[in-house]
Amino acid sequence: MSLARVSSFPLSHIEESSRTQPFPITHEEAVNLHSCRAFQAIRGFLSNQQVARFCQHHRPTSKEHEEAWLLQRDITYALILPVLEIYRHAAQLARSMLGDRNIFDLELVFRGDARGAFAWLQCFITEEEEWCSTRGCPACVVSYVLQAEPTIRIVLTACRLAQSLRRANENADIFPVFDFWLSSLRTALDEDEFWQPNFWKDSEQKVANLENGIQQMVRQCINLENVRRSGNGLCRSRHETVMAPTVGVSAEPAKLGTYKLDGTRMVFISEESCWMQRIVLGCWTTLLADAANVGRSAHDVNVKAMPPSVRPLSS
């Protein structure tokens, strides 16, 4: 059973009285984020798709107050977006391998920790559909991170995956820097009367397990794609869905590495990281292209042209 607050919004009497953002951000950190084109694309997408309507508990007292909440909402979405996209591709691949049967047991395609990670993400995304899409009051979206252990876990895991993607890419500047968010989240948890300082240490193993499970899930996705290309699906049917190439795959991911003289592989960048880079870069490339289209047109962005994980999750 997941640990969660029993109170409804506002989540903390401190937030209720001061209406301040739970995660501290310095001016330098904000400037660095805004210099990243991928983060600009995400902000543009959210700005075009969602009207910033605040609830009565979080009504901004100034334009700066409103912008601070919007920035933290956009950071939250930018963090979890790669995790959502990786899950979407894994689920689509599982459906294509199973064909018409067992469509409600997609996790059976995976083994070991990968199966556990897939099932956990599936349950979380289903239960937290609205939060994952960051619909509603921006301040409630941000504050909801501290509502329960699963939301904290997925944000912590997303931070760690973001670090891995940056380390794994030769052109790390294309990925937003979210290292500061880990320290901000830890500060918020330590100062929160419900979670308190011990929670951070207690959650580390769960976060590490989920991150490892996602890495294994990605590895098994690579193997399944190889199986599918060879024409030996797990349960193929004439209705099998073929995954379309991700938009933006022309953006070159980092090289996989070289071999030593004895044939032992020196993996500078793992295939798992390369696969994740392709998925995430494709998503961001689509967002950048659509942001450019919005700049040339007064029409709204066509939601159907978005990558799956940035559409409304019910579509």
Predicted pLDDT of residue 232 = 58
- What CA–CA distance (Å, rounded) separates 157 from 149? 12
Which residues make beta-bridge pairs with 258?
Answer: 266
**Lowest mean pLDDT, pick from 19-33, 121-135, 184-198:** 19-33
Percent of the chain with pLDDT over 90: 34
CA distance 26 to 292: 29
Query: Would you place residue 4 in the very low, low, confident or very high pLDDT band (cuts 50, 70, 90)?
Result: low
Question: Could you report the per-residue pLDDT of 245-271, keeping only the tens digit for each?
Answer: 332 323 333 333 333 334 443 333 467
The per-residue pLDDT for 118 is: 96
Q: Tens of pLDDT along 100-141? A: 666 678 898 999 999 999 999 999 999 999 999 998 999 999
315: which 2 tokens?
């579509």
| Helical ranges in the chain per DSSP H | 13-18, 27-34, 37-49, 63-98, 112-127, 129-132, 138-143, 149-168, 179-191, 198-230, 271-296
How confident is residue 167, by pLDDT bands cut at 50, 70 and 90? confident
Task: Provide the whole-model pTM.
Answer: 0.75
Give the helix/strand (H/E) hosting 257: none
Structure confidence at residue 37 (pLDDT): 83
Rounded Cα gap, residues 226 and 123, in angstroms? 27
pLDDT in tens, 51-103: 788 998 898 888 999 999 999 999 999 999 999 999 999 999 998 888 766 66
Between CA 166 and CA 265 the distance in angstroms is: 22
- Give percent above pLDDT 70 in the chain: 70
Contact status, residue 74 vs residue 42, Cβ threshold 8 Å? yes
